[in-house]
Amino acid sequence: MAKMYYEKDCDLAKLDGKKITIIGYGSQGHAHALNLKESGCDVCVGLRQGSRHWAEAEAAGLQVKTVAEAAKWGDVIMMLVNDEVQAAVYQADIAPNLEAGNALMFAHGFNIHFKQIVPPADVDVLMIAPKGPGHTVRSTYVNGKGVPCLLAVEQNATGKAYDIGLAYAAGIGGARGGVMETTFQDETETDLFGEQAVLCGGVVELMKLGFETLVEAGYAPENAYFECIHEMKLIIDLINKGGVAAMNYSISDTAEFGEYVSGSRVLPYEETKKNMKAVLRDIQDGVFAGKWIAENKNGRTFFNAKRAQLAKHPMETVGAELRRNMLWGEDTDLDTASN
């Protein structure tokens, strides 16, 4: 069993007197900065000159500095810029401003695990990785809950890396949900696998194929949207609350029978497992990381083409129209432009 920590195991006071710098103010950055500030921590946000988030962070009552100045100011520096630019930002503005005894933190292990960033031996290197989107890290904190986190320590130069990590997890509300101890390697590999095979890659492909199958058979696209896309969240909410059993309890027995009869027709067990293992192998061997690093060096042609293609898919256009007309309107709370 993995080691779990909860609020009672974390001492927020371990951050007393420490200056915490949050680099980036996107999905995770805004949530960490605001949650820590409201937990009583001394926080500063580091942004590039001209950042469209500069005024927003200041309006929220946070002090903002350039990345280099913020890195110099902070004792604990949390790296919350996009993974693919972290190495360049680190080299240019963070490495020159790191001091012995500082803590360099991450919310995902990619750059440390794949050695894109190699910090000096005299700083702590650790990770608090919320297992949920940044906007949820914020909204759950505001509601007195939190998003569970993973904790990993790569370098414990000061001997206090665990204290800092656990205090930080408490400060962002994660310890209310639970903090699981892991390693940079395990976090990186499982995170990439989860998002590729199941959460993002798997789910989007499944919904898209379901939508297309119904539309190609002559059913209304709106109907296909409700059935294959809108309902996904309602089903997932039930599973999230009480496991698959709670979902099966709530759906009809007809639906549950269909689940047993057709689920494995759509995702044939042996073949799907074989494909998932191949995806995992590419992650473990660094093949996926190599592709992603190259894609960024080559101007993201594949990435941008896929994104543009998906935006035109009827499941997106029909969905946007339906959501706009729902009584409560489309949820515009998401800062989608930065993701």
Distances 97 to 70, 74, 102, 111, 307 between C-alpha atoms, Å: 9, 9, 10, 19, 36
Task: Measure the CA–CA gap between 324 and 118, rounded to whole angstroms.
Answer: 46
Residue 102, binding choice from ligand NDP, Mg ion, none, Cβ under 5 to 8 Å by partner class = none
Residue whose tokens read 């050695």: 115
Task: Measure the CA–CA gap between 311 and 309, rounded to whole angstroms.
Answer: 5
Q: Which is nearer to ligand NDP, 81 or 151 (CB)?
A: 81
Nearest Cα neighbor of 61 from 79, 34, 83, 84 is 34
Residue whose CB is nearest to ligand NDP in the complex, by number: 26
Is 141 marked as binding a ligand?
no
Verify whether residue 108 is a known catalytic residue.
yes
Binding mask 47-66 for ligand NDP (x = CB under 6 A): xx--xxx-------------
Tokens representing 180 are 């699981």
What DSSP assignment string belongs to 57-71? Answer: HHHTT-EEEEHHHHH
Is 6 marked as binding a ligand?
no
Is 256 marked as binding a ligand?
no
Span 119-138, contacts to ligand NDP by CB under 6 A: 129-130, 133-134
In the list 7, 14, 21, 29, the residue contacting ligand NDP (rule: CB under 6 A) is: 29
Binding mask 155-184 for ligand NDP (x = CB under 6 A): ------------------------------
Distances 320 to 41, 222, 226, 314 between C-alpha atoms, Å: 39, 11, 12, 9
In the list 80, 94, 105, 151, the residue contacting ligand NDP (rule: CB under 6 A) is: 80
Span 187-246, contacts to Mg ion by CB under 5 A: 191, 195
Task: Measure the CA–CA gap between 337 and 335, rounded to whole angstroms.
Answer: 6
Is 26 marked as binding a ligand?
yes
Residue 140, binding choice from Mg ion, ligand NDP, none, Cβ under 5 to 8 Å by partner class = none
Annotated binding site: 25-28, 48, 51, 134, 191, 195, 227, 231, 252
Q: Any idea which residues carry the catalytic annotation? A: 108
